[in-house]
Amino acid sequence: MALRSVVYKATLQVADMDRGYYAEHSLVFARHPSETDERMMVRVLAFALNAQEGLAFARGLCIDDEPDLWRKDLTGEIETWIEVGLPDEKWLRKACGRAGEVILYAYGRTAEGWWRQHRDKLTRLPNLRVLRLEPEATLALAGLAVRSMQLQCNVQDGEAWMGNGAEIVRIAPETLYPAA
């Protein structure tokens, strides 16, 4: 018997001082049986850091041709494609060909080595942005995961603070590409 995805719900309040974006989002998303709490919460963080009208969770792990998050225009063209993890370089090239902007949130203990291995090929993609998240921060984010969440995310000066009223996790994404 195959395991089924688990549905999660979150009320996410975003206060992004860097972009002047303030909104509350009611999110419903599935956690694939092979997905960890850490990866799921990195997807929620990616949503918070890029929140805007039209941004949505895609089917990601369930469908080969979809990202973790995306934003489409009214014609169905993909404006923003967001991935989390350490995807194959060919997959990112394909995404860059299909979307106006591709954002990757690389995380995990092997993210630095992954970047060194793929940097030369990925820095040829002009519409790609790569950010690295500290392993300690993403593991702490996993601790916020429950089936029904009330989350707040404050963003200022390139740093984010994600909390649930009882705990707060500081995340400082490091921009790997394009270089500042």
- Domain containing 29 equals 6-177
In a domain, 10, yes or no: yes
Structural domains counted in the chain: 1
Containing 93, the helix (H) or strand (E) segment is helix 89-98
Q: Kindly report the pTM of this predicted structure.
A: 0.94
Query: Looking at the predicted structure, is the pLDDT value of residue 180 above 80?
Result: no
CA pair distance 180, 176, nearest whole angstrom: 8
Q: Is the pLDDT of residue 27 over 90?
A: yes
Residues 133-153 have pLDDT tens digits of: 999 999 999 999 999 999 999
Residue 5 — pLDDT band, cuts 50, 70, 90?
A: confident
The answer to whether the CB of 130 falls within 8 A of the CB of 110 is no
CATH of the domain at 120: 3.10.640.10
For residue 1, being part of any structural domain is answered with: no
Confidence band, pLDDT 50/70/90 cuts, at residue 160: very high
